Each structure stands twice: as C-alpha cells, then as structure tokens.
C-alpha cells in the first residue's frame, strides 16, 4: 500500500512538472509571436518606414568674444548680417540673443552686443523682433560666447541606426526568407534629403509659377504671326562663344 502511494505521488509530481514546462514554453511562444507581429507591422516602403517630418526647430550660432577686445571681427560681422537676412526669410519667431554676464569677457560682450543690434537694425530686423537675455556659464573655465538663435520650419528624419532584427538568416528574422528590406534601409537617404532641401514646404506642395516675361513673349508671338523665325539671332562676336559640340 505504501509503495502504491509513493508511485502515485511521483506520477503527480511528474505531471505537475510537465504542466509547468508547457506553461513556460507557451509563454515564450506567446512573447515571440507578439514580437513578430510588432516587427511585421512595419511598412516595407522606406519612405513610409522613415518618413520626413516637417516641424519647428531652433537654429543657433555662437560668437566667440575675447576678454581684451570689444566689438566684432570682419568675419563675425559678415556672419551676423547673413544670419539677419536668413531670419527675415525663414524665421518663425523672435531672434534671441544670449549674452554672458559675471564673466571675464562680460564687458567686451556688451560692446559686441551693441554692434550686433546695430547690424540687425541695418538688415531690417525690427526692434520688437529681438530679445536679449543674460546668462552665466556653468563652467567658469569655458569661454562664454554670445548665442543667437531663432525658430524656423525644418525637415527631419530619425532616429537612424536602429537594428531590431538580424541581417542574416535566423529564427528571429522571418523577413529574411521573404526578402524584405532591413529596418534601417533608406533612413540615411531620407535624412540627407531632408537636410539638403532649402524650403521644407517643397516636400509637401509645389511652388507657384512666376509670371511670364511678357516683352520677350510678345516679340516671339509677333514673329510667329508674320511667319518669321522665332529663334534668337546671335551676332558674329557672340557666335565664337557658343559651343559646336554635337553639330
């Protein structure tokens, strides 16, 4: 009788161990299935997987100011004028100038700040479009600079460099057998395109056409009505400047 009870207990223990192992395997299988669903739901087209996003971001520049010289150098004045002209074209907010205070070059920075304001005024930037804020650098050893920033519309893609799956054949990469592109494919190309475009709105809609040159078009139409050639006639001095390649 004791031997039967012992055998029954061992069988019950083995059955419990099998049930536990089955539950553990079922949990692992369920997790891997969820991962496959999440990974498989990504679009195959790189333009949809890494879309170019139009958003508002800050553009900033720094002007280095020494402690023994006030005012800007010729190169710094040119950079400041170019920044002001760019702001009038693409800025979506005020120009923010952050000048250092309680630093060895604070006095020279104040002289440079007044020169920056005069350059902005000469470039057509209204006084209400410039905001000034003082700051103290956290590291006193670092050279304090004058920071100029403003918001603008920009195009961006990212982040790149994500590799959620193996590139080669494995049990975790079911897309390898289906010849699907890997996740990071096309991200760098999209990011470079977003960085090179001058006007982010061109990625969404075309620009309006400029008016036609009426004077030249009227001359060409008048010649056409009279049956005369509409091609431009070049003088003898200009013929030498034209290339005969392909003739």
104-114: average pLDDT: 93
55-68: average pLDDT: 91
What are the CA-CA distances from residue 8 to residues 15, 19, 22 (Å)?
11, 17, 21
CA distance 169 to 171: 7
Each domain of the chain, given as residue ranges in start order, spans 2-50+159-196, 53-156
Structure token digits, residue 71? 């005012």
pTM score above 0.75: no
Q: Give the residue from 59, 61, 68, 63 showing the smallest Cα distance to 144.
A: 63
Q: Give 197-217 pLDDT, tens digit per residue.
A: 988 989 989 888 888 888 888
Own/partner pairs, 170-175, CB within 8 angstroms, 24+ separation: 172/35, 174/36, 174/40, 175/39, 175/40
Q: What does the pLDDT read at residue 14?
A: 52
CB-side exposure of 13: number of CA atoms within 13 Å?
6
Q: Is residue 35 scored above 50 in pLDDT? A: no
Percentage of the chain beyond pLDDT 90 is 42
Q: Is residue 28 scored above 50 in pLDDT? A: no
Structure token digits, residue 33? 């299935």
Q: What does the pLDDT read at residue 17?
A: 52
Q: The domain at 53-156 falls in which architecture?
A: 2-Layer Sandwich (3.30)
């Amino acid at each position: 009788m004791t031997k039967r009870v012992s055998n029954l207990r061992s069988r019950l223990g083995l059955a419990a161990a099998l049930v536990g192992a089955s539950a553990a395997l079922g949990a692992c299988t369920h997790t891997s299935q969820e991962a496959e669903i999440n990974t498989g739901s990504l679009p195959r087209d790189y333009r949809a997987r890494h879309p170019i996003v139009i958003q508002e971001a800050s553009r900033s520049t720094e002007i280095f100011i020494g402690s023994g010289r006030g005012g800007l150098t010729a190169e710094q004045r040119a950079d400041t004028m170019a920044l002001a002209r760019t702001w009038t074209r693409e800025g979506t907010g005020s120009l923010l100038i952050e000048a250092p205070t309680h630093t060895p070059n604070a006095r020279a920075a104040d002289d440079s700040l007044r020169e920056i304001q005069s350059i902005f005024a000469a470039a057509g930037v209204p006084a209400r479009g410039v905001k000034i804020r003082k700051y103290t650098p956290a590291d006193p050893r670092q050279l304090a600079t004058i920071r100029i920033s403003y918001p603008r519309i920009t195009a961006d893609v990212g982040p790149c460099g994500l590799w959620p799956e193996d590139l080669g054949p494995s049990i975790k990469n079911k897309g390898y057998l289906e010849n699907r592109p890997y996740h990071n494919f096309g991200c760098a190309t999209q990011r470079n395109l977003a960085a090179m475009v001058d006007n982010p709105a061109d990625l969404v809609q075309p620009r309006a056409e400029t008016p036609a040159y009426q004077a030249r078009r009227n001359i060409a139409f008048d010649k056409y009505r009279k049956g005369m050639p509409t091609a431009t006639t070049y003088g003898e001095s200009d013929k030498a400047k034209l290339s005969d390649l392909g003739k």
